[in-house]
Structure 1
Amino acid sequence: MAHAKLLFQAPTFAVITGASQGLGKSIAIELAAELTEGSVLAITARNKDGLEETARIAKLERRDRIAVGDVQIITMTSDLSKSEARNVLQQDIVNTILNCVKDWTPSKFLSAILILNFGTLGDMSKELCDFRNPEEITDYFFVNLAHIPILTGQFIDWTRAGENEMDTVVVNVTSLVALQPLTCMSLYSAGKAAREIMLKVLAMENPNVRVLSYAPGALHGTNMTKTILSTTNRHNTSHSFRQLEASGKFVTCKQSARKLLRLLRMDCYSNGDHVDYDDVKE
């Protein structure tokens, strides 16, 4: 039976992609404050300065919460968005996890967590039938899907290379639109849905790995939200987001990150489940 009971109770090796801004940054800051002494947090993104700022704030937050013992935070620059340079992107996909774990012996840790937060929105000005260029569609799915099995596979391989069996958790940051269609979000919805089914298969194939797809809610102030609010299309999709914002339904990245950690700590979801922000009770 898969479980995650040691995640906040024993030395843990954690990797978060897309950690230089937005939700990934908040998850890194919150997780750094919760991990036990002797843990390592590896954060990756394409923005080196953003990663270093995340690490700086995470260290201050841990100190301010009077967390016991030290957690080492390492930054690894990796660009998973180079659709215009696919050969370069392939190398970054292959190297992301390898660079994070290369200096660490898995036997030093009793649990491990991989949080797959990276993703792009796609062109929201278009309806499904407006996409006529196969290369645009291929590039979108290559950027948003190709890294999932590779990063996950390498991470799980590393966790199994030691003498002890780690409690291993894989979190896929998803969206409610993976389940519910929304106009002019066809590529984004399809990409999120594909990632979810990939991770459900992972849970079936690896019952000793804890797998979760977490939908973080409508997030206030992220670049993705700003793009949605400012993009014009025939269905006025941005209007529905403005209504959510006006009705107080948006949540901060910090609130959502804390909900995710609460969910992981409770460990009460079925393996491979999609869990939405609103499903997690205080």
Structure 2
Amino acid sequence: MATVFEKSSFCLITGASQGLGREIALQFSNNWEKSGKKSDVVLIARNKDGLEETKSLIKSSAPGVNVHVFPIDLGDLDQLQSLCPTLLKIGDPSRHDQFIMVHNAGTIDTFDCTLAQLSDGHTTRKFFDINYTSMTVLTAHFLSKFPQKASLIIHMTSLLATVYIAGFPLYSPSRAARNAYIGVLVAENPDVRVLNYSPGPCDTEMYKKIPEEIKKGFMAVLTPAESINKLVKVICEDQYKNGGVMDYFDC
């Protein structure tokens, strides 16, 4: 059976301007380049310059992959709704054998307040729009557009969805909500292949924002390349339970 990277694919990756999202885009594209399968990669993030840099890196190592860049603020749900048809139109069942969505984008707490101080509902709503609601919008459009048996959804989850640490009053609840959403998605769409991948603590810009006293409780810090190498292996082997969680340290 052909692996993920031995099929002509359409792949949409959120949060692709830096860190894990950029590494996913690079490694996936390089694998399609090696197999010679013509594929289209759509990159989404707020940072246009970062997206262009990711595109440039891909074109240097995987010139056969078509790269499409869309600067989008996932917290702007009206903009996202209006752009979804354009984003997904690039995926074409007459040209692509497989359709992939990678939910990687996300923000982290500002570490300047506790749950007891979250009295401003606007702050909470904005955080959840970026980290949860935008994911549901994209996924709904994706599911309505592409055949289930040819679809793969990869959700970048976190141990903090189930392990609770003081200092993450919004991040942990948003990740737990995402995990629950994925569970329902699998129950309703059993033919869609779905993986929750927990990448472990990685040396990214998001990780740098975490206070040192919190970092002391984490396991060894990985490079994005180390973590995404493992993700590539997991999806190629295709032995994971559909909708299950695979953690870097458990694989």
Give the TM-score taking structure 1 as reference length.
0.82
Residue by residue, what CA displacement relative to the aligned partner does 1:46-99 show, whole Å, maximum 9, x if unpaired? 111111110111222336xxxxxx221111111113xxxxxxx12222144322
Structure 1 residues 93-102 or 206-215, which shifts more? 93-102
Partner Cα distance (1:116, 1:205) in 2: 19
Which of 206, 213, 225 is the matching residue for 1:224?
Answer: 206
Residue by residue, what CA displacement relative to the aligned partner does 1:124-175 show, whole Å, maximum 9, x if unpaired? 2322222122222222222221112210111122213xxxx65211111111
8 Å contact kept, 2:42–2:87: yes
1:263 maps to 234
SS of the residue corresponding to residue 6 of structure 2 reads coil
How far apart are residue 103 of structure 1 and its match? 4.2
Q: Aligned letter for 2:230?
A: K
2:19 maps to 22
Which of 55, 66, 77 is the matching residue for 1:72?
Answer: 66
2:213 maps to 239
Q: Aligned letter for 1:18?
A: G
SS of the residue corresponding to residue 222 of structure 2 reads coil
8 Å contact kept, 2:80–2:134: yes
Q: Aligned letter for 2:207?
A: T
8 Å contact kept, 1:6–1:110: no
How many residues align? The count is 248
Partner Cα distance (2:6, 2:166) in 1: 43
Residue by residue, what CA displacement relative to the aligned partner does 1:170-212 show, whole Å, maximum 9, x if unpaired? 1111111001111111210000010011011111110110111
How far apart are residue 8 of structure 1 and its match? 1.3
Residue ranges of structure 2 left out of the alignment (5+ in a row): none
Percentage of identical aligned residues: 31
Which of 137, 144, 160 is the matching residue for 1:177?
Answer: 160
**Superposition RMSD in Å:** 1.9
SS of the residue corresponding to residue 137 of structure 2 reads helix
Q: Aligned letter for 1:13?
A: F
2:54 maps to 54
Partner Cα distance (2:58, 2:235) in 1: 19
SS of the residue corresponding to residue 139 of structure 1 reads helix
Judged with a 3 Å threshold, the aligned counterparts in structure 2 of structure 1 residues 114 and 140 are, in CA distance, closer, same or farther, namely same
Structure 1 residues 132-141 or 266-275, which shifts more? 132-141
How far apart are residue 115 of structure 1 and its match? 0.2
1:158 maps to 145
2:244 maps to 273
Partner Cα distance (2:46, 2:114) in 1: 29
2:88 maps to 101
Superposed structure 1 runs of 4+ greater than 3 Å apart: none
Q: Aligned letter for 1:241?
A: K
1:208 maps to 191
SS of the residue corresponding to residue 107 of structure 1 reads coil
SS of the residue corresponding to residue 126 of structure 1 reads coil
2:224 maps to 253
Q: Aligned letter for 1:224?
A: M
Q: Aligned letter for 1:251?
A: L
1:167 lines up with 2:164 in the alignment: no
How far apart are residue 266 of structure 1 and its match? 1.2
Q: Aligned letter for 2:208?
A: K
SS of the residue corresponding to residue 5 of structure 2 reads coil
1:147 maps to 134
Which of 98, 103, 113 is the matching residue for 1:126?
Answer: 113
1:45 maps to 45
